[in-house]
């Protein structure tokens, strides 16, 4: 857990903590405006969205309920399998709710498109997506995403909730993982 270990594991910092927080404030203002007459339910996708949910929900000006879902499509590798498994389902009943899915990253888009279909079948009044990061060059399916933090290059990234084999989630910035780590 020495700092020097982390420096040699990344090739570039892509988004700093300061940039993330400024962007979350901006998006929170939009969301507050868009949902001013609606009861909003935030749904975080575990585990990657933990940091973005914590900071984004506190950037909102009002009390807002949140729920969590755990899905898995990656295992220990760096590529999406496209096979989504529910590891923990929602506690909330979505019937009639205005849901905003809070995601760390849209990579291939396979996980979110699966989630959107799944939520639609549960009778939500509306389902929108906020993803902190998106890799436009990695898209295999288009995902309608209302709020986006940053478009980033098609590289495997870590930090601010994002992991490689459960490591690096607690880094404050988002950085590109050095290929030697997973080669």
With respect to ligand XMP, which residue has the nearer C-beta, 27 or 176?
176
| Residues β-bridged to residue 16 | none
101 near ligand XMP, judged by CB under 6 A: no
We find the least distance from the C-beta atom of residue 86 to ligand XMP, in angstroms, to be 14
Task: From the list ligand XMP, Mg ion, none, pick the one residue 71 interacts with, judged by a Cβ distance below 5 to 8 Å according to partner type.
Answer: none
105 near ligand XMP, judged by CB under 6 A: yes
Is 107 designated active site? yes
We find the least distance from the C-beta atom of residue 74 to ligand XMP, in angstroms, to be 5
Task: From the list Mg ion, ligand XMP, none, pick the one residue 35 interacts with, judged by a Cβ distance below 5 to 8 Å according to partner type.
Answer: none
Selected binder of Mg ion within 104, 107, 128, 163 (CB under 5 A): 104
Query: Rounded to the nearest 5°, which phi and psi values hold at 66?
Result: -135, 150
We find the least distance from the C-beta atom of residue 42 to ligand XMP, in angstroms, to be 16
With respect to ligand XMP, which residue has the nearer C-beta, 27 or 49?
49
With respect to ligand XMP, which residue has the nearer C-beta, 60 or 162?
162
> What is the residue-wise DSSP string for the chain?
--HHHHHHHEEEEEE-HHHHHHHHHHHHHHHHHHTTTS-EEEEEEETTTHHHHHHHHHHSSS---EEEEEEES-TTSSS--S--EEEE--SS--TT-EEEEEEEEESSSHHHHHHHHHHHTTT-SEEEEEEEEE-GGG-SS----SEEEEE--SS-EEBTTB-BTTBSTT-SSEEEEPHHHH-
Where along the sequence are the contacts to ligand XMP (CB under 6 A)? 48, 73-74, 80, 103-111, 156-158, 162-164
Looking at the annotation, which residues are catalytic?
107
């Amino acid at each position: 857990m020495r700092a020097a270990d982390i420096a040699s594991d990344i090739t570039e910092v892509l988004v700093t903590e300061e940039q993330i927080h400024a962007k979350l404030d901006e998006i929170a203002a939009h969301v507050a405006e868009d949902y001013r007459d609606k009861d909003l339910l935030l749904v975080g996708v575990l585990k990657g969205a933990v940091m973005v949910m914590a900071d984004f929900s506190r950037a909102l000006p009002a009390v807002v309920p949140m729920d969590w879902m755990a899905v898995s499509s990656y295992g220990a590798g760096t590529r999406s399998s496209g096979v989504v498994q529910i590891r923990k389902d929602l506690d909330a009943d979505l019937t009639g709710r205005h849901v905003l899915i809070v995601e760390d990253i849209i990579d291939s888009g396979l996980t979110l498109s699966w989630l959107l279909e799944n939520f639609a079948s549960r009778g939500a009044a509306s389902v929108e997506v906020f993803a902190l990061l998106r890799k436009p060059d990695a898209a295999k399916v288009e995902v309608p995403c209302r709020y986006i933090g940053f478009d980033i290059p098609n590289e495997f990234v870590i930090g601010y909730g994002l992991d490689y084999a459960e490591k690096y989630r607690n880094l404050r910035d988002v950085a590109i993982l050095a290929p030697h780590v997973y080669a």
